[in-house]
Amino acid sequence: MTGDLTSYDPSSVLIRNFCSVCGAKVYVQSSSSGNIFPSSGVVERKDVKTLFGSNFHVFVADALDGGISIWFPSSKRWKERDDGAEAEGPSYYKVAKQRKEQTRSGSSSRLSCSCKCGAIAFAIAPPPSSPRDLPADFSAGPYSDLVVPHRSNNAKKDNPDNEAWFLRKHPANPADGDHQRLTRYLAGLCVCRSCRKASGNEFQAWAFISAYCLLTTTTTAANFLNDQSQILDFNELRARGMKTYNSSPGVYRDFCGTCGAVAFWRSDARRDVVDVSVGLMDAPGGQVRAEDWLEWCTDRVSFEEEAENGEVVGWLKEGMQAWNHP
């Protein structure tokens, strides 16, 4: 192994090694055996699809909703290690479908977020019920590739009408006596080469959040949109250990310099909407997909045309669409 790596050993069981410059997870090493487990996202081989597949998921019990494993229904799920008890796939699949029909309760006023070591910590405010609630000069910026595939709709992707594409209306559930339409943030998976190489993961889960809804952990006032002092300051996060990598001109990828957690994707072209790594979210009850807050795009994987392992993306899309369209 060559290059500038940072090691993080929070458990004395596995040592996590990531690039000190861009944050990419490179490999995990067993403290006891010394065995090395490379991250599939950093592998550069034309025959990569013959090397990696979706065979099983471990520690599924850590995710009450099954996490991403429910989108690979043909893969085995293990409650903890792959030599222990198997998690019942259908039960997680059922829970996931039930969660889609529920709405966020009014008691949850903020969604706490943090990395593994806690150096990066912030909160997310509930999405505005209408774009009119955002500042007058708010710019949603170009559409995400999830909404408008950039390769096929190059002219429209710039969002000339400034549509708030990241806000998603969620239909009410009459069975719960709810006759309102709640708003959620758009979320999805990206497999572009840049995300893959900068994270070390074949898939990166992003949620698209208004920069005005990213708050400090000490925010208390209800009308935060009118109090700029409560909006998250990225310079303060950098002072606490966050690192920033310019993956291309005008594009900024932030990660924790201590534990290596992927944090944000930001762009000069889309200054008022920030991509937030879903893995940082501490949704109530261990709901990894945070469906009370997020609406997942299941019809498309962002930049799927760039996927190094198109076969795995195909399995993923098949599972996502079956989950969303029973």
Read off the pLDDT of residues 127-145 as tens digits, 9 standing for 90 and up.
988 888 888 899 999 999 9
Q: What is the pLDDT of residues 299-315, one digit of tens each?
A: 899 998 887 777 778 88
What pLDDT score does 63 carry? 75
pLDDT confidence of residue 150 = 84
Are 252 and 265 contacting, i.e. CB atoms less than 8 angstroms apart?
A: yes
So what's the pLDDT on residue 101? 47
What whole-number distance in Å separates Cα of residue 170 and Cα of residue 184? 7
Q: What pLDDT shows up at residue 113?
A: 95
Q: Which residues pair with 143 in a beta bridge?
A: none
Q: Supply the pLDDT for residue 190.
A: 94
Q: Say what the pLDDT of residue 266 is.
A: 97
Q: Look at residue 56 in the predicted model and tell me its pLDDT.
A: 65
Output the pTM of the full model: 0.85
Which residues in the chain land under pLDDT 70? 1-3, 45-58, 73-75, 77-108, 153-155, 171-181, 218-229, 326
